Structure 1
Amino acid sequence: MIAMAVTEVEHESGFSRLISSIGSVLIGVVLFLVAFPVLFWGEGRAVKRAADLEAGSSAVATVSVDSVDGGQDGELVHCVGEAATSDNLTDSVIGQSAAALRLRRSVEMYQWIETSESTKRKKLGGGTETVTTYTYSTDWSASYEDSTEFAELGHDNPPMPAEGETLDAQTVTLGARSLSPELVSQIDDFTVLAPDTEAIASVTLGDRSASVSGDYIYFGVDPAMPEVGDVRIKLETVASPTQVSIVAGQAGETFGSWTTPDDRELEPRLEVGNHSADEMFAQMNDENTMMTWIIRVVGFGMMFIGMMMTLRPLVVVADVVPFIGSFIEGGAFLISFAVSLPLTLATIAVGWIFYRPLLAIGLLALGAGILFLGIKMKRKSKG
């Protein structure tokens, strides 16, 4: 790995910062307002998803994969068996084939990578000085680093000669049933496919010929001393057969979505291995909880950032004297937090109030308590 650094200094006047901060007020207001429907939608989504999973958990029936009962069409079923195929998948770049459920090609290129670190310092009069250090190093990366966008030219990366790709078998069976492409794509138990030296003997990428380096097919002179533009490719497969567990609506001899009592759709679900229906629904409930908290954090973040952007002009004006500006900025942070947190809790409570009134009342009380405490502390500090 080669590393080097270059430093760039940027100055911004106080007037320019003020104009920019005034322009950000509108964005801040929009972020703040949009946070409310995002939070409300997130709670509605969580409640509906929980209701669908509860209905599915109560309705699901475990069936055999060896036969299909036409009388269960449209019902939610659970089954465990071996997914298998007779398809032969061939990678279009390497030309190597495998009898597998899935074949994945991962491509990495040795290239220049730019990283940056900035330090901003306030100056008397409201201006700022930003010192940015750009570091350039060489390393393997699966994503292309566009060197034309680098701050300093001279660290040139050639185009990526190949991209990653995943091929799925078209005909996959599970006993007497078949799996849809949607379910096949959920079988993610990949293992490395050992490079076939005969298959790669005549393969080239540009002017680079192929050789074997561990699990990789290497395109370059020396794997121990890679050069910018060298490429390494790894092939992985999902073996046939692979044991899987499925919860889905029965649709003839295959699977599809299941319609809940509330006329919503529960999508087909596959997990690798032997899992009971209860285990699979527990996992889906855990994922629902995680997604709910992610949306809550995003909503709070939108509200908080929106408030900070709205108060930004006050901070910039106070930055005429950096010490005062830092003090005002700290106050803006506290105000934004003190306003955003109770409003987030209140919005969450409103979103739940029609479904879980007891929890909603508790959240409203907590939000009101935080807001009351903040007001009380502010009055005490003034006194």
Structure 2
Amino acid sequence: MSYTETTYSSWFERIKKALVGIIIGLVLLVGSIWLLIWNEGRAITTYRALEEGAAQVVSIDALTHDPAFDGKLVHISAPVSVEGRVQDDMFGVSAENAVAISRSVEMYQWVEKSDSKTEKKVGGGEETTTTYTYGKEWRSEPVRSSEFKHPDGHDNPGSMPASETFVVKGTHVGAFEVPAQMVADIGQHAGLAMTDNDVSAVAAALGGDRPVKRDGDGVYVGDRSSDPAVGDLKVSFDRVDAKEASFVGKQQGSSLTAYTSGNGREIFLSAGGRIDAASMFKSAESENNIIAWLLRAAGLVLMFIGFVCIFAIFGVIGDVIPFIGSIVSFGTSLLAFVLTLVLGSLAIAFGWLAYRPLLAAGIIVVALVVAVVVVRRRSAAAKPA
């Protein structure tokens, strides 16, 4: 089932959108510069905090808490014990000795997909043809059919139970109390087979007249799982277990909390199993590097998009004759890429400036050299013309 729609945007309408795009581009440009500078400061302060922690941490016996280590950065490795029994508040499903249980819910729903093709016209206008198709899929989030382009005949239920994780009341690693959520984060997931009582509890919680029956380890809400209808549900559970765990944090009596380093960064490391302190700090440093590079990439992409939005108006102006507009758009995209490399490098360098001035100066020099080379080449290419 599909629907096709054709729309036309005049050259003047596209100019108005391009002018708005300039404002959006400037906002993205400022935001990307802030992100790049902030990220470098975050990465460096985190690195120094981890260096400080690795030099100060003390591995202690986790089966007792010695008051002599109160307020100090300690490392423990020990078996995990839980307080109470974890339970799903809505359906009443529980698991003995588990750190947490995770509920997963999917609903069979209508889904809209669209495919657009745009053709430039002489005079600067654009004609866009969009095809909307509708199908049914299992989704873990409710799909709002009221927002479909053609909602008639594609109605979805307004709500569904959410996927959610429930954590046990408290956990201990050896003799130390640690946040249950942190233990759950390093635990191992395994499917939780539901009993007849669990199936009955799910049926009572959902209400209604639809049948609720076991489907593998979970339950199916609907007539036939082999022929699902819109609104049918699949509900399943995982249990999260942690037999042993290792933590690095500040000893506070019988509890372990975050340790504040000299530069204000907090240190609270966790790992499943018995892991030594040196390995835990090494993993934390690797994670910090990965986050830094991901944020650098995100900042540069945002900056490139910002420049593209700012320069887009030149391509729209050139689209009075379509092939000229395409050439102009290619050239402005290339210029946006070069400016991103230069300005992005400068932003990263300024982020390092307060922490590592020599390395920052080197990055600035490289960026300036790249800019000079690009300008000279463009000038040399323009001379014959």
TM range (shorter): over 0.9
**Counterpart in 1 of 2:235?**
233
Match of 2:188, SS state, is: coil
Amino acid at match of 1:13: S
**Counterpart in 2 of 1:380?**
380
1:124 aligns with 2:122: yes
Q: Distance in 2 between matches of 1:293 and 1:129?
A: 40
Q: Distance in 1 between matches of 2:181 and 2:201?
A: 35
Match of 2:302, SS state, is: helix
Q: How does 1:199-214 map to 2 (within 5 A)?
A: 199-201=198-200, 203-204=202-203, 205=206, 206-214=208-216
Q: Distance in 2 between matches of 1:134 and 1:290?
A: 39
**Counterpart in 2 of 1:163?**
162
Shift of 1:61: 1.2
- Which of 142, 145, 148 matches 2:146? 148
Measured against aligned partners, the alpha-carbon deviations of 1:332-371 in whole angstroms (never above 9, x if no partner) come to 1011111121111112112213322343233223212221
**Counterpart in 2 of 1:197?**
196
Q: Distance in 2 between matches of 1:327 and 1:73?
A: 68
**Counterpart in 1 of 2:44?**
47
Q: How does 1:1-383 map to 2 (within 5 A)?
A: 4-99=1-96, 100-153=98-151, 154-201=153-200, 203-204=202-203, 205=206, 206-239=208-241, 242-262=243-263, 264-383=264-383
Match of 2:211, SS state, is: strand
The answer to whether the Cα contact below 8 Å between 1:203 and 1:209 also exists between their aligned partners in 2 is no
Measured against aligned partners, the alpha-carbon deviations of 1:46-69 in whole angstroms (never above 9, x if no partner) come to 110110111111111111211001
Q: Distance in 2 between matches of 1:274 and 1:6?
A: 59
Amino acid at match of 2:76: C
Amino acid at match of 2:135: S
Shift of 1:256: 0.8
Q: Distance in 1 between matches of 2:363 and 2:369?
A: 10
Match of 2:169, SS state, is: coil
Measured against aligned partners, the alpha-carbon deviations of 1:168-216 in whole angstroms (never above 9, x if no partner) come to 1112122211122452442342211011123313642332222111122
Q: Distance in 1 between matches of 2:117 and 2:278?
A: 52
The answer to whether the Cα contact below 8 Å between 1:183 and 1:268 also exists between their aligned partners in 2 is no
The answer to whether the Cα contact below 8 Å between 1:168 and 1:184 also exists between their aligned partners in 2 is no
Match of 2:170, SS state, is: coil
Match of 2:135, SS state, is: strand
The answer to whether the Cα contact below 8 Å between 2:99 and 2:180 also exists between their aligned partners in 1 is no
Q: Distance in 1 between matches of 2:265 and 2:35?
A: 22
Q: Distance in 1 between matches of 2:312 and 2:371?
A: 22
Amino acid at match of 1:111: Q
The answer to whether the Cα contact below 8 Å between 1:81 and 1:244 also exists between their aligned partners in 2 is yes
- The normalised TM-score by structure 2 is 0.93
Which stretch of the first structure deviates more once superposed, 44-53 or 279-288? Answer: 279-288
Identical-pair percentage: 34
Matched residue count: 378
Q: Distance in 1 between matches of 2:223 and 2:339?
A: 61
Q: Distance in 2 between matches of 1:93 and 1:269?
A: 32
The answer to whether the Cα contact below 8 Å between 1:259 and 1:266 also exists between their aligned partners in 2 is yes
Match of 1:95, SS state, is: coil
Amino acid at match of 1:171: G
Q: Distance in 2 between matches of 1:138 and 1:85?
A: 42
Match of 1:292, SS state, is: helix
Q: Distance in 1 between matches of 2:317 and 2:233?
A: 52
Q: Distance in 2 between matches of 1:244 and 1:130?
A: 57
Q: Distance in 2 between matches of 1:24 and 1:125?
A: 21
The answer to whether the Cα contact below 8 Å between 2:46 and 2:265 also exists between their aligned partners in 1 is no
Which stretch of the first structure deviates more once superposed, 253-262 or 270-279? Answer: 270-279
Amino acid at match of 2:234: R
Shift of 1:226: 1.3
Q: Distance in 2 between matches of 1:101 and 1:68?
A: 23
Unaligned runs of 5+ in 2: none
The answer to whether the Cα contact below 8 Å between 2:86 and 2:169 also exists between their aligned partners in 1 is no
Q: CA 1:298–1:224 in 2, change beyond 3 Å: closer, same or farther?
A: same
The answer to whether the Cα contact below 8 Å between 1:96 and 1:196 also exists between their aligned partners in 2 is no
Q: Distance in 1 between matches of 2:10 and 2:365?
A: 46
Which stretch of the first structure deviates more once superposed, 130-139 or 44-53? Answer: 130-139
The answer to whether the Cα contact below 8 Å between 1:14 and 1:127 also exists between their aligned partners in 2 is yes
Shift of 1:165: 1.9
- The normalised TM-score by structure 1 is 0.93
Shift of 1:86: 4.1
Q: CA 1:8–1:356 in 2, change beyond 3 Å: closer, same or farther?
A: same
Match of 1:172, SS state, is: strand
Superposition RMSD in Å? 1.7
Amino acid at match of 1:340: T
Shift of 1:293: 1.4
The answer to whether the Cα contact below 8 Å between 2:249 and 2:256 also exists between their aligned partners in 1 is yes
The answer to whether the Cα contact below 8 Å between 2:53 and 2:267 also exists between their aligned partners in 1 is no
